[in-house]
Structure 1
Amino acid sequence: MKLHRNNIFEESYRRIMSLKRPDVLKARLWIEFESEKGLDYGGVAREWFFLLSKEMFNPYYGLFEYSATDNYTLQINPNSGLCNEDHLSYFKFIGRVAGMAVFHGKLLDGFFIRPFYKMMLGKQISLKDMESVDSEYYNSLKWILENDPTELDLRFCIDEDNFGQTYQVDLKPSGSDMVVTNENKKEYIDLVIQWRFVNRVQKQMNAFLEGFTELIPIDLIKIFDENELELLMCGLGDVDVNDWRQHTVYKNGYCPNHPVIQWFWKVVLLMDAEKRIRLLQFVTGTSRVPMNGFAELYGSNGPQLFTIEQWGTPDKLPRAHTCFNRLDLPSYESFEDLREKLLMAVENAQGFEGVD
């Protein structure tokens, strides 16, 4: 493909979507930028994926938006159709590009909320997944789960805001006439989560998957969990341990010179790149580090530095609060004990009660 740098999004869209046989995209990638000499031995193709990602995922185009209050974790914009009437065609294009990246071993420069990867895998999205995306909503639903909501007079409906206009959406037929009680609150919470993450963007996700699966059969990615799929599509990235360490807060008796904290950073330094990313995913909910480093790390309520708090007894595994980028770390009695329990917590984060 021969493209102009200053029009990379639209030109790539036209070229890729004009193909009648998408399997052509599995052929060797040959990218050339107009007025630039040079053979593409992989470097130009890598740059094309990087530059195109920046454009495709830019919220300016209305296809994606940043989640919660951060400015680096993406989610599908449920109102994308109001921004671009051809939005489903663009989502299919983005799916094809994502499939090309996986097929050719290249990476996309964009990081998505965990439910995005779960939707790709056809997995159930849980209340736990909401915490790192929208902590206010998460706390409200968690309160309902743990208390009797009958007196709140909640109904099986949601108020949805569209560019300043508020609409009432039933979560099930005649939902506005049904009161949420202690008996049906679990169904209500499940329906809210389904609405928040799935129903509003189902058409966009279907279009994305249609493009993606033209290159990568869905069965091939179902061997991964959502964290592994993120790494497959977006890569490990670089984690600067010194920067991480300099911008970490300690609470409840811990400080930089505490033996347990010294052991913790020794474990991190001894980890390979993938283990470090998995630790980051465990505590923050994403493998993404902001462009300007850990100093600008966000939680779901705004700026929130990585935090390690003393908690629990040495027989417990560490636990994580992705909403606050916080690791609750017991005061272990040896380096070996800390290393063993930290790795166990990180590797078993799937369905693990230590993450909320």
Structure 2
Amino acid sequence: GGALAREWFALVTQSVCDVGRGLWRNGKVEDVGLQINPWSGMIHSDHLDWYRFLGRVMGKALFDGIKIPNAIIPYIYKFLVGAPLSLLDLKQCDRRYYDFVKTIEALAVEGGNDDGKGGGGDDDGADAVADLGLNFTLTEEDPFGGETYVELLPGGADVQLTRHNLGLYKECLVRYLLIDRLRPQLTELFGGIHEVVP
């Protein structure tokens, strides 16, 4: 019956999505949902099999019209249906990066927009964002104390961040943090769903 199937889906997803298993982690923002653990491969050599399995379970639940009780962070569902991701999705995932980008945006506005009183504007050459000396890279710490240096686009270490390319930087940052670093896990999750739901 329906109740037995719902209970089975609840128990299976609860087990697979248990943060103690290392495949998922709690969101950096409270009450948003579980996030894929980007370091799941350091914990389980067969981690991708687990994501494929969960995808199949999600696909079967979708096919049968059963709601899955575990709360996965909403942007993953957006990704699965091909909806564009934005800075607001990053805010749900990691508030630190969101706040960093908002600070850079504020500098770009202060240093680049004409206030209508003369002076300022794009033609004065001032670029408070470029003055920070940042580029299209980031350094991530893994849970075991190691660091990973990441170029957000090819040659990113040689691309200075300015107010003029801030939009591209935001796109690259969102793409890396929400998709690229999780691509193996997302591919398996998506593939598992599509094995059941064409």
Q: TM-score of the superposition, structure 2-length normalised?
A: 0.84
**Counterpart in 2 of 1:193?**
174
Gaps of 5+ in 2: 109-128
CA RMSD of aligned residues (A): 1.5
**Counterpart in 1 of 2:141?**
161
Output the amino acid matched with 1:157: T
Q: How many residues align?
A: 177
Q: CA deviation at 1:203?
A: 1.1
Q: Summarize deviations over 1:316-346 as a string: whole Å, max 9, x none.
A: xxxxxxxxxxxxxxxxxxxxxxxxxxxxxxx
**Counterpart in 2 of 1:86?**
46
Q: CA deviation at 1:182?
A: 1.5
C-alpha contact 1:101 1:107 (8 A) present in aligned 2? yes
Output the amino acid matched with 1:201: L
C-alpha contact 1:64 1:76 (8 A) present in aligned 2? yes
* 1:259-298 → structure 2 map (5 Å cutoff): none
Q: Summarize deviations over 1:80-112 as a string: whole Å, max 9, x none.
A: 111111111111110000011111122212112
Output the amino acid matched with 1:184: N
Q: TM-score of the superposition, structure 1-length normalised?
A: 0.48
* 1:1-356 → structure 2 map (5 Å cutoff): 41-70=1-30, 73-148=33-108, 149-162=129-142, 163-217=144-198
C-alpha contact 1:145 1:186 (8 A) present in aligned 2? no
- Does the residue aligned with 1:189 lie in a helix, a strand or coil? helix
Q: Summarize deviations over 1:36-90 as a string: whole Å, max 9, x none.
A: xxxxx23222211111111111111111111104366111111111111111111
Gaps of 5+ in 1: 1-40, 218-356
**Counterpart in 2 of 1:231?**
none
Cα distance in 2 for partners of 1:132, 1:165 equals 25
Cα distance in 1 for partners of 2:15, 2:32 equals 14
Moved over 3 A (4+): none
Output the amino acid matched with 2:4: V
Cα distance in 1 for partners of 2:29, 2:69 equals 19
Q: CA deviation at 1:186?
A: 1.0
